[in-house]
């Protein structure tokens, strides 16, 4: 069967099986299926948060509890309709997650997971100790869900609801990932510097995915409460929170469908081990947890990406990847008049503790000019780039860009004003194709946000963005690699992707950090031609480069740095015969 027909077949088979299963299966399997659906809903949030965004949370069970307890309390005490308690639970969970996120997401490294453990435990004890919530006994007598004229009382009827909700959330998650904000989220994992340089508000992106994951958990809790018709704190403990993470990791934490695979595998395996291990060992006890611990270690050693990528290997799905399409061009920023001063750096200094990496550097870049910044390794060129572009602020000094002081602005705000840069150590998203990587550069040229993306109302803008990305890719000579994974290309081509991404932001000043390193001779020539065309269009270019032929053939003026200081400045031919420069480069050899 061809790949296309195979996936259409699977696409029809899966919902078909879902519709038929609750009618045909015995009660025991229905219950199992219900739990898999409920767990997968929570694990799906973790795919977004941990798998894609790189933020680990052990505390999702507490959010499930918030959803469950909200409906339990409101329906039993005030007789509120369960369909109204769902939005109430989402609102409460959203508020709690947003506030917790603001505090915890600032923590870095292992402090973030520790933070989630802390509030996971805190919320669990809150459920158990609030008298109004029934303490450790919990709340019983939760009404069944009314549905049109009937009530969802049986597990069979509930099975449809749970899986319909799960499929809907999977669709929303997929839409979200395949969008402007989705690319921003995917960019978080590789360290957020690049994303910030492209204008992504990374703290906001983190809080949003944290809240979305909490909302998924809350929906699962609401469903759980009306399925069980009884809640107590036990299923919302830290142990359960760890299990959710476990499911996401086993399934394949970076894959939407991995959430279902992981929840399914763990739930079935747990059931099976609970039944068999005690009779096998002749003792009763929670032996399945020991087996799980061993399984987790095995997974982390042998299949770090989880089970879903292994399934994918045998059955390659039709991967949803962005493709370039015909669309109207994005509006362009008017370029400043050629010859006008774009960038003015004055007495820029940067200290790392005792090390002075930049020492009172001053220079100007005009529109329609290539200014080369050269100097030996360690002279402080990349540090200066970071200071100018707002990635790592200067210690002192002033930077004006198009007449506005920018030295204390964050990177995103600098980018918004029309400065775009590449990195000496390329910062790409290796698992995304070239087109998607370059499209990250268009982040600030659109405004469609999470909600629009989730319900696919962003398609017009998205096609314009992809068209722009494709145009810049062609301009940089990468048309043949547009759909290849960025990580699979040689370093020279990766540098060109960085330039295309910077151009996709529609800048008027381009900062290029060693763009020609790793390029072949013809590629270098093509790059020089591209930079000449950009200059002719009126773009200002600040260029750091070690290849002297490249620099001297291209630059209008050259600034030489050594030990963080300006050693010389002038026309290329003046610099080439400047004794101090020759000394710095050749160490005094005649
Ligand atoms: P160049 O790009 O000219 O090769 P860099 O700007 O990368 O030089 O580095 C200039 C100096 O600053 C080097 O001595 C480097 O070790 C130091 N440096 C750069 N970044 C940091 C940092 N984050 N912390 C401490 N020292 C740094
Ligand atoms: Mg450098």
Distance from Cα 488 to the centre of ligand 1, integer Å: 28
The residue whose CA has the least distance to atom 15 of ligand 1 is: 378
Residues around ion ligand 2, judged by CB within 5 A, are: 381-382, 424
Regarding whether 160 and 92 lie in a shared domain, the answer is yes
Q: Are residues 500 and 511 in the same domain?
A: no
Closest CA to 102 of 203, 30, 12, 195: 203
- What is the pLDDT, as a whole number, of residue 319? 46
- The DSSP 8-state label assigned to residue 371 in this structure reads E
Check if 257 has its Cβ closer than 6 Å to any atom of ligand 1: no
Range of 442's domain? 428-506
Cα dist. 106→235, 346, 407, 456 in Å? Answer: 28, 33, 23, 31
Q: Would 282 be classed as within a structural domain?
A: no
Give the mutation target among 378, 382, 385, 394 for probing the ligand 1 site: most ligand atoms within 8 A of CB.
378
Does 366 fall in a domain? yes
Q: Which residue has its alpha carbon closest to ligand 1 atom 18? A: 357
Asked if the structure places residue 108 within a domain, the reply is yes
pLDDT at residue 552, as a whole number? 92
Q: How far apart are CA 500 and CA 437, in angstroms?
A: 9
Is there a contact between 263 and 251 (Cβ–Cβ < 8 Å)?
yes
90: Cβ contacts below 8 Å, ≥ 6 apart: 67, 215, 218, 219
pLDDT of residue 298: 82
**Burial status of residue 4 (CB atoms within 10 A of its CB: 0-12, 13-18, 19 or more):** exposed
Judge if 488 and 511 occupy the same domain. Answer: no
pTM: 0.88
pLDDT at 61: 96
Within this chain, do residues 83 and 207 fall inside the same structural domain, yes or no?
yes
- Tell me the chain's radius of gyration from C-alpha atoms: 28
How many domains would you assign to the chain?
3
Both 64 and 212 in a single domain?
A: yes
Q: Is 9 in the pocket of ligand 1 (CB under 6 A)?
A: no
Last residue of a domain, one of 464, 491, 506: 506
Of all atoms in ligand 1, which is nearest to the CA of residue 564? 10
CA distance 28 to 155: 10
- In this structure, the answer to whether residues 385 and 491 fall within a common structural domain is no
Q: Are residues 516 and 439 in the same domain?
A: no
Q: Does residue 159 share a domain with residue 140?
A: yes
383 C-beta closer than 6 A to ligand 1: yes
CB of 358 shorter than 6 A to ligand 1: no
> Looking at the domain assignment, is residue 308 inside a domain?
no
- Judgement on whether residues 249 and 380 belong to the same structural domain of the protein: no
Strands (E), 440-562: 509-513, 540-544, 557-562
Q: What is the pLDDT along the chain (590 residues), one digit of tens a residue?
A: 444 455 566 666 777 777 777 778 888 889 999 999 999 999 999 999 988 888 889 999 999 999 999 999 999 999 999 999 999 999 999 999 999 999 888 877 788 889 999 999 999 999 999 989 999 899 999 999 887 767 777 778 889 999 999 999 999 999 999 889 998 998 887 678 899 999 999 999 999 999 999 999 999 999 999 999 999 999 999 999 999 998 988 888 778 888 999 999 999 988 888 888 888 888 877 787 788 888 878 877 777 777 777 776 765 544 446 677 778 888 888 888 888 999 999 999 999 999 999 999 999 999 999 999 999 999 999 999 999 999 999 999 999 999 999 999 999 999 999 999 999 999 999 888 999 999 999 999 988 888 888 888 888 889 999 999 999 999 999 999 999 999 999 998 999 999 999 999 999 999 999 999 988 999 999 999 999 999 999 999 999 999 999 999 999 999 999 999 999 899 999 988 888 888 877 654 44
* Token couple for 362: 């001053």
Tell me if 38 is assigned to some domain. yes
Is the CB of 144 inside a 6 Å radius of any atom of ligand 1? no
Q: Is the CB of 352 under 6 A from ligand 1?
A: yes
Pocket residue to mutate for ligand 1, from 191, 352, 395, 512, most atoms within 8 A of Cβ: 352
- Give the distance (Å) from ligand 2 centre to CA of residue 415: 20
Residue with tokens 């990349």: 382
* Domain termination site, one of 484, 506, 528: 506
Residue in this structure with the two tokens 């200067």, named with its chain if needed: 394
Q: What integer pLDDT is reported at residue 12 of this predicted model?
A: 67
**How many angstroms does the Cα of residue 379 sit away from the middle of ligand 2?**
8
- Supply the pLDDT for residue 60: 96
Of residues 481, 476, 357, the one with CA closest to residue 422: 476
Q: Which residues are paired to 562 by β-bridges?
A: 565
Interior angle at CA 521, CA 518 and CA 523, nearest 5:
70
Is ligand 1 within 6 A of the CB of residue 376?
no
Asked whether residue 271 is domain-assigned, the answer is: no
Cβ 382 under 6 angstroms from ligand 1:
yes
Answer for the pair 411, 390: CB distance below 8 angstroms, yes or no. Answer: yes
Instruction: Please check whether residues 99 and 164 belong to one and the same domain.
Output: yes
- Report the run of H or E that residue 405 belongs to, with start and end: strand 404-405
User: Are residues 68 and 190 located together in one domain of the fold?
Assistant: yes
Is 89 within a domain? Answer: yes
- What are the tokens at 117? 């453990």
Determine if ligand 1 sits within 6 Å of the CB of residue 350: no
- CATH code where residue 530 lies: 3.40.50.300
Q: For residues 548 and 499, what is the distance between their CA atoms, to the nearest angstrom?
A: 20
Residue 501's closest CA among 406, 429, 431, 446?
429
The rounded Å distance from CA 514 to ligand 2 centre is 7
Assess whether 57 and 151 both reside in one domain.
yes
Q: How far is CA 307 from the centre of its chain?
A: 21
What are the tokens at 2? 């061809």
Domain boundary among 264, 294, 318: 264
């Amino acid at each position: 069967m061809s790949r296309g027909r195979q996936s259409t077949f699977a696409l029809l088979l899966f919902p078909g099986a879902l519709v038929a299963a609750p009618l045909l299966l015995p009660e025991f399997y229905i219950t199992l299926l219900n739990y898999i659906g409920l767990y997968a809903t929570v694990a799906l949030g973790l795919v977004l948060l941990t798998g894609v965004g790189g933020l680990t949370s052990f505390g999702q069970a507490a959010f499930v509890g918030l959803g469950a307890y909200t409906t339990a309390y409101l329906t039993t005490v005030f007789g509120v309709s369960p369909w109204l308690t769902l939005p109430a639970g989402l609102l409460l969970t959203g508020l709690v997650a947003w506030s917790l996120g603001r505090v915890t997401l600032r923590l870095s490294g292992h402090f973030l997971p520790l933070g989630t453990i802390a509030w996971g435990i805190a919320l669990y004890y809150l459920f158990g100790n609030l008298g109004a919530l029934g303490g450790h006994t919990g709340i019983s007598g939760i009404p069944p869900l009314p549905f049109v004229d009937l009530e969802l009382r049986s597990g069979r009827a509930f099975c449809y609801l749970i899986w319909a909700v799960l499929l809907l959330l999977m669709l929303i998650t997929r839409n979200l990932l395949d969008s402007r904000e989705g690319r921003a989220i995917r960019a978080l994992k590789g360290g957020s510097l690049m994303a910030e340089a492209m204008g992504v508000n990374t703290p906001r992106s983190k809080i949003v995915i944290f809240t979305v994951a909490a909302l998924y958990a809350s929906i699962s809790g609401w469903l759980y409460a009306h399925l069980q018709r009884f809640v107590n704190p036990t299923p919302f403990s830290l142990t359960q929170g760890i299990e959710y993470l476990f499911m996401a990791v086993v399934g394949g934490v970076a894959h939407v469908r991995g959430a279902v695979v992981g929840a399914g595998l763990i739930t079935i395996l747990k059931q099976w081990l609970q039944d068999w291990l005690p009779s096998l060992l002749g003792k009763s006890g929670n032996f399945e947890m020991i087996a799980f611990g061993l399984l987790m270690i095995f997974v982390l050693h042998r299949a770090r990406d989880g089970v879903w990528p292994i399934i994918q290997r045998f059955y390659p799905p039709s991967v949803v990847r962005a493709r370039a399409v015909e669309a109207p061009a994005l509006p362009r920023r008017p370029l400043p008049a050629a010859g006008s001063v774009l960038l003015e750096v004055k007495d820029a200094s940067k200290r790392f503790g005792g090390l002075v990496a930049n020492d009172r550097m001053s220079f100007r870049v005009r529109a329609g000019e290539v200014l080369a910044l050269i100097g030996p390794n360690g002279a402080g060129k990349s540090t200066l780039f970071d200071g100018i572009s707002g990635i790592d602020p200067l210690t002192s000094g002033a930077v004006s860009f198009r007449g506005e002081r920018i030295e204390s602005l964050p990177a995103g705000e600098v980018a918004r004003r029309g400065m775009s840069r590449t990195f000496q150590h390329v910062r790409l998203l290796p698992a995304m194709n070239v087109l998607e990587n370059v499209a990250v550069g268009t982040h600030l040229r659109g405004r469609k946000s999470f909600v629009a993306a989730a319900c696919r109302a962003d398609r017009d803008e998205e096609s314009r963005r992809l068209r722009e990305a494709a145009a810049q890719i062609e301009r940089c000579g990468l048309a043949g690699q547009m759909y290849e994974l960025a990580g699979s290309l040689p370093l020279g081509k990766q540098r060109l992707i960085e330039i295309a991404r910077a151009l996709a932001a529609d800048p008027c000043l381009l900062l290029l950090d060693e763009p020609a390193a790793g390029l072949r001779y013809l590629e270098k020539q093509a790059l020089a031609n591209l930079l000449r065309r950009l200059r002719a269009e009126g773009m200002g270019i600040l260029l750091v480069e070690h290849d002297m032929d490249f620099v001297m053939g291209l630059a209008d003026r050259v600034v030489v740095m050594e030990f963080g200081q300006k050693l010389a400045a002038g026309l290329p031919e003046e610099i080439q015969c400047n004794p101090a420069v020759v000394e710095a480069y050749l160490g005094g050899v005649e």
